[in-house]
Structure 1
Amino acid sequence: MSVELLTDSELLHLMQQGDEKSFTELFNRYWKTILVVAANKTGDLDEAEEIVQDLFVSLWNRREQLQLTSSLKNYLTVSVKYQVIKALAKRNNFQKFADHSLHLNDILDDSTQEWLDFEELRHRLSELVAELPEKCRLVYQLSRDAGYSQKQIAEELGIAEKTVEAHLGKALRTLRTGLNQFLFTTLL
């Protein structure tokens, strides 16, 4: 039987067993739709193509553990939105950091020690953010890096505002504790 005639569920089952033809068919069915979603969100076709490619590579790499509770199309649409949010937060974070660095160079004196202390603190904050659970980290980055309100985050991720509030509270407590410990050991 030709793979073009199989349902998504049948193709997914074959893909989970390592069948590359079924993966190729799923890719061919959905890549344009997913690309449009990513391109509309990012505003950059090249970045959108990279996000979609990474999404399908991840789908193939995780095929054996994949368990869908909804349709494949829905799963891919939600997944690409998460990937776009991560990419936008990363892009926004990089731009903010570049702008902030330029601003700091104007403000700070030439004190090498102050600069090193700041860089060490910034590095530790980045480490702590990276250690947060994925949803918690995503909510924090959307709030702090992308400037989203709690309501916007809830709408974007399809979760309740109270859940956003809980994730944000957990992130801030974790970061505050981690930075306090870092500063305490640095001062000693």
Structure 2
Amino acid sequence: MLHAAENTNDKDLDIRSEEGFEKVYRMHSEKLCALAISMVGDISLAENIVHDVFLSIWNRRDHLVVEGPMEHYLTRAVKLAAMDSLRKKALHQKKLVRHFQNREVQSHCTEERLNFESLRQHVGLLVGKLPSKCREIFHLSREMGWTNRKIAATLLISERTVEAHLYKALKFLKKNLSEQP
């Protein structure tokens, strides 16, 4: 049977009736709100927690059995609901932190991609300013991955000439890239 004692001198209240439920609410809601406020630190949230506890009791009134004083049951229910609320809030904050960390990483990746593309285009423009033979050797070496020996054999020049052209191209690129803002 669902009931609550108003105090040690009062008779049991049956909170299955609206009148009994309202009496229990009036007797305990203020104290329960103070308890919830002390746990969650937010008046509005504390009031919602207490309201939800009483709503749950009202919805389950025909099947709920409370052993012992109603005050103890209500206090425990509010404590558990407040802890659950704090746990959910902590999980939500963790999700927000992860979300913003992921956005920051994605932002850095996008920024790095844009920087890389800009640099690649700039290098392409600089390579285009190289003398034709130097540009051809640089392309075969750096973009095609050919060895100096293969380039020399294909272009019918010495390996020393290939090395000289690559040195000239790299020196030009280094000078002009370091001047880029």
Instruction: Give me the whole-angstrom Cα distance separating, in 1, the residues matched to 2:82 and 2:94.
Output: 18
Name the TM-score, length of structure 2 as normaliser: 0.52
Aligned to 1:37: 35
Structure having the higher helix fraction is: 1
Amino acid at match of 1:10: D
User: 1:8 touches 1:72 (CA, 8 Å); kept in 2?
Assistant: no
TM-score relative to the length of structure 1: 0.50
What is residue 12 of structure 2 aligned with on the other side? 10
Shift of 1:38: 0.3
Amino acid at match of 2:48: E
Deviation at 1:65, TM superposition (A): 1.2
Taking a change above 3 Å as real, the CA distance of residues 92 and 7 of structure 1, as seen in their structure-2 partners, is farther
Structure 1 residue matching 2:51: 3-state secondary structure:
helix
Contact 1:51 1:80 in 2 (8 A): yes
- Listed one character per residue, the Cα deviations across residues 116-139 of structure 1 (whole Å, up to 9, x for unaligned) are xxxxxxxxxxxxxxxxxxxxxxxx
The one-letter amino acid paired with 1:20 is E
Deviations 1:5-57 (A, max 9, x none): 9977721xx323xx101100000000011111100000111100010011111
Alignment-derived partner of residue 87 in structure 1 = 85
C-alpha distance in 2 between matches for 1:62 and 1:24: 15
Cα pair 2:15 2:24 within 8 Å, conserved: no
Post-superposition shift, 1:106? Answer: 1.7
CA distance in 1, matches of 2:8, 2:58: 18
8 Å CA contact retained: 1:8, 1:26: no
- Change over 3 Å in CA distance of 1:5–1:47 after alignment to 2: closer
Q: Deviations over 1:39-78 (max 9, x none)?
A: 0000111100010011111111111111112211110010
Contact 2:33/2:47 (<8 A) preserved: yes
Q: Which residue of 2 aligns with 1:56?
A: 54
Give the distance between the partners of 2:63 and 2:10, measured in 1 at CA: 17
CA contact (8 A) 1:15 1:22 kept: yes
The amino acid that maps onto 1:57 is L
Structure 2: gaps (5+ residues): 1-5, 111-181
Q: Which runs of 4+ in 1 moved over 6 A?
A: 4-9
CA distance in 1: counterparts of 2:10 and 2:64, whole angstroms = 14
Tell me the distance in 1 between the aligned counterparts of 2:29 and 2:97: 35
The answer on 1:22 being equivalent to 2:20 is yes
**1:1-188 equivalences in 2 (<5 Å):** 10-11=12-13, 14-16=14-16, 19-108=17-106, 109=109
Q: What amino acid maps onto 1:84 in structure 2? A: A
Count of residue correspondences: 103
Compute the RMSD of aligned alpha carbons.
2.3
* Compared CA separation, residues 44 and 5, structure 1 to 2 (3 A): closer
In the aligned structure 1, how far is the partner of 2:85 from the partner of 2:56?
15
Q: 1:75 to 1:81 in 2, by over 3 A?
A: same
Conserved? CA contact 1:55–1:80, under 8 Å: yes
> Cα distance 1:8–1:30, how it changes in 2: closer, same or farther (>3 A)?
farther
